[in-house]
Amino acid sequence: MQGRTVIVTGASAGIGEALAIALAGQGANVALAARDAQALERVKGFCEAAGGRALAVPTDVGDPEACRRLVERTVEAFGGVDVLVNNAGITMHSRFEDVKDLGLYERLMRINYLGAVHCTFHALPHIKARKGLLVAVSSLTGKTGVPMRTGYAASKHAMQGFFDSLRIELLGTGTDVLVVSPGFVATDIRAHALGPEGQPLGQSPRDEAGPTMDVDTCVALILRAMERRERELVMTLTGRVGQVLKLVAPALVDRLAARAIRGKKA
């Protein structure tokens, strides 16, 4: 990534922060985007200490104009864009029947899906000019239904479909699309998950059984997939097996998903 310019959304914490610092350590110019300006400045310092150049651009990807300004400021600072990592997102943990306001679903779609669409729309001409790379950090919930995650799963299914379709449109242009589907990663995104009334739960609502991947391992896998310009990265064996099972035994996958929630019975 030496000398290349990378925009990372959701860069103030978790996967986005660790990925940005790792890219800076490889000599990349990193444009950092998130809503928390103070946190971005902290990450900017880490990126510069790692050896890269960094630009902090406070950005709410739910605002289309903010997405445009993010790309504009990146081009002004670094002369172009080679890679866009669409990582910004929020999650939600609730049974559908308990939800009080369907505006929560609109909010998830606006940030998780349309935020990526708007950033991609403005960055794509610059990325195509450099035969660069689009990265979408999705989720295993973008590939199969997960109970208690209807809003989040819907937004990630939309993200998966958009980038799968865009990849085909970009065939022959030298521009590649990588969709990343992590499983459970040890970040604080779950602690900020929205509940049925739209309030942050304030603690991890995770009651799913199974292992959690550490952030450094997750980032190492993403970097390798970016270097190889892979089309897709499904991080867990369970996720990869699940994709095969979904084709041949979809009802079984539903039952397994139900059993993955403690206290739920298939």
Do 127 and 133 touch, CB atoms closer than 8 A? yes
Catalytic residues: 152
Return left, alpha or beta for 90; rule: phi > 0 is left, psi -120 to 50 is alpha, else beta: beta
Buried b (16+ CB within 10 A) or exposed e, 67-102: bebbbebbbeebebbbbbbbbbbbbbbbeeeebeee
Specify which residues 165 forms β-bridges with: none
Specify which residues 170 forms β-bridges with: none
Sheet holding 53-58, edge to edge: 53-58, 29-34, 5-9, 83-86, 133-137, 176-181, 232-234
| Cα gap 256→132, rounded to integer Å | 38
Whose tokens are 């689009």? That residue is: 134
